[in-house]
Copies of this chain bind each other. A is one copy, B any other.
Amino acid sequence: MAPLRLALAQVNPTLGDFDGNLELVLGWTRKAAERGAHLVAFPEMMLTGYPVEDLALRQSFVTASRQTLEALPGELVAAGLGEIPVVVGYLDDRPDTGSANPGGKPSNSAAWLHRGRVVARATKHHLPNYGVFDEYRNFLPGSTLSVTRLHGIDVALTVCEDIWQDGGPVAVTRRARAGLLLVVNASPYELNKDDVRLELSSRRAAEAGCPLAYVNMVGGQDELVFDGDSIVVSESGRVLARGPQFAEDLLVLDLDLAEAKPGVAAATAQPTPEPSSGIQIVRTEISAEPLPGYPLDPGPVAERLTDEAEIYAALVTGVRDYAIKNGFRSAVIALSGGIDSALTATIATDALGADAVHGVSMPSRYSSEHSSSDAADLADRLGLPYRVVPIEPMVAIYLANLELTGLAEENLQARVRGTVLMGLSNQYGHLVLAPGNKSELAVGYTTLYGDSVGGFAPLKDVPKTLVWRLAAWRNKSAEEHGRRPPIPDSSITKAPSAELRPGQLDTDSLPPYHVLDDILEDYVEQDRGVAELIAAGFEPELVEKVLRMVDAAEYKRRQYPPGPKISFKAFGRDRRLPITNRWRERVKPGS
């Protein structure tokens, strides 16, 4: 056995900001060196950010990635950091072996840097092409396993999906008799994925026959949020160390690892083909001699967040990074007095600070008394700049010039509000945050170009029942910290209403939200059909009605702003359905 001090840098790159991401690597490598680490690892696609989508198909972008990678070893030496090996993810336009690359696609790669040189390279073998991922579209798969000898320990390097699929790199790691399996990741958050990742890491460590170190990205990128949560597990599946969720961090620990076997060759010029998988083992040597023993530091195990705290942190991270990385310094939100806008404003305040979040109340003739008072109360509790813009004059003049009635008149009110918000956005440079939740978006209970306007929609993937849970949790958490709960009780307890006509309630058009959300969980997240829903105990006519609403609202979802994914299946690239679609889940006649 031989010791190794490992540092996992779970950091927050910005997509396409090669200079900034290089600076991040330099800064966190310095911290790792100061902590005495013998190896520091950064996430998948650290230099580019993730996902790059079709930027992978633009040669200038790929070249910039490779040039940044090639410049980095020199920069590390210049910063006095040449001695510590650095593993970093990037995009490379060369195949990882001499094989042909007719499509000209780049690879999702990670490199070992040491003493001013790129000394080894690993390329992602399994390319995810499901859910939010389009990697088969954008990348060429790798066909090698990189094994690098460092202080007498053989470290196998793989990328993210390589441990999510059976066979391939993990099996080859065992046959390569590696002492450590290092996995670099850009694995997006969704609820309960931390448990899945832990179970997966433990299983793969056992299969690889060595400890596994998993480093993940942090931060928001459009609809994805990366939660960090880096993990190191022993071969037997025991958690050795774990990083925090949703925070940049350097996870440092000492490992006691199996030394490379005497019979195994070190650096070999020729790749060794591995019989069953077709994956070639490519070995590199940085240093063959084990380090002398020293007292090992076991490393921290960060406490887990509760489900509510975890989701809330994901939403705050998503809003903060969307705003900051796109150059917004402030946001504007329509405050209706309802729970959705109250929670949205609270998230925005936690993300950007109260001074940066502008609340606007836009009462109409149908607004109840409590709408304005609850909105004002919320703004007061959060300390937001707040103004009131009554929409009656604008609505009246449209109605005087156009013959709008019924639904057209209802939607008009929402669109006047949307126009006011966008005017303030254009005038002051605020990012407009749309308050709609996933339940509303599912059934189309939203006005296109009305309450749906915005650059970002924090609750887009949050069902209404979860909105309530998060609001209650946020208030309780404030109380526990001796602070005033931000969300007025009345906003939590009142019956939901769009207030677009007298006495209107959401339940006029929709089933109660706890029923609706159960149906949506089955239909949207699990892709179940009518028969399965009825078998699950839902009332047939209700199921048919809700599914019809969901199908018919696809066109609205296409024009909805992006928002952070927190569920197994978010609207957007996670669930790709046609607008034009005559297929309707039907209860069979007579059933």
Contact = CB atoms under 8 A, between A and B. Distances in A.
A221 B394 contact: no
B325 A580 contact: yes
A296 interface: no
A419 B449 contact: yes
Interface string A547-591: 000000001001111100000000000011111111111000000
A136 interface: yes
Interface stretch (A53-61, A150-158, A237-245): A53-61
A85 interface: no
A405 B325 CA distance: 27
A16 B326 contact: no
Contacts of A411: 422-423, 426
Nearest to A551: B16
Interface residues of A, number: 83
Contacts of A427: 402-406, 408
Contact of A579 (B52, B222, B453, B584): B222
A412 interface: yes
Contacts of A555: 326, 455
A394 B397 contact: yes
A12 interface: no
Contacts of A322: 580
Interface in A412-449: 412, 415-416, 418-420, 422-424, 426-427, 448-449
A394 B423 CA distance: 14
A389 B401 contact: yes
Interface stretch (A111-119, A176-184, A260-268, A526-534): A526-534
Contact of A583 (B55, B134, B321, B412): B55
A97 interface: no
Given A411-B423, A419-B415, A51 B129 contact: no
A164 interface: no
Interface in A267-289: none
A-B pairs, top 8 by smallest CB distance, nearest first, are A16-B583, A60-B529, A408-B426, A17-B582, A408-B427, A16-B582, A449-B449, A415-B419
A137 interface: yes
A557 to B, nearest CB: 11
B423 A402 contact: yes
A423 B404 contact: yes
A314 to B, nearest CB: 16
B575 A54 contact: yes
Contacts of A325: 580, 582
A36 interface: no
A321 B582 CA distance: 13
Nearest to A527: B58
A223 to B, nearest CB: 9
Contacts of A582: 14-17, 20, 325
Given A427-B405, A449-B419, A326 B580 contact: yes
Nearest to A60: B529
A419 B416 contact: yes
Contacts of A354: none
Q: Which of A424, A426, A532, A577 has the most CB of B within 10 A?
A: A426
A410 to B, nearest CB: 8
Given A419-B449, A576-B134, A580-B322, A394 B401 contact: yes
Contacts of A55: 577-578, 581, 583
Contacts of A191: none
A546 interface: no
Nearest to A63: B529
Contacts of A448: 422, 453
B405 A16 contact: no
A293 interface: no
Contact of A578 (B51, B60, B394): B51
A292 interface: no
A196 interface: no
A527 B423 contact: no
Nearest to A558: B562
Contact of A419 (B53, B61, B321, B419): B419
Interface in A306-356: 321-322, 325-326
Nearest to A428: B408
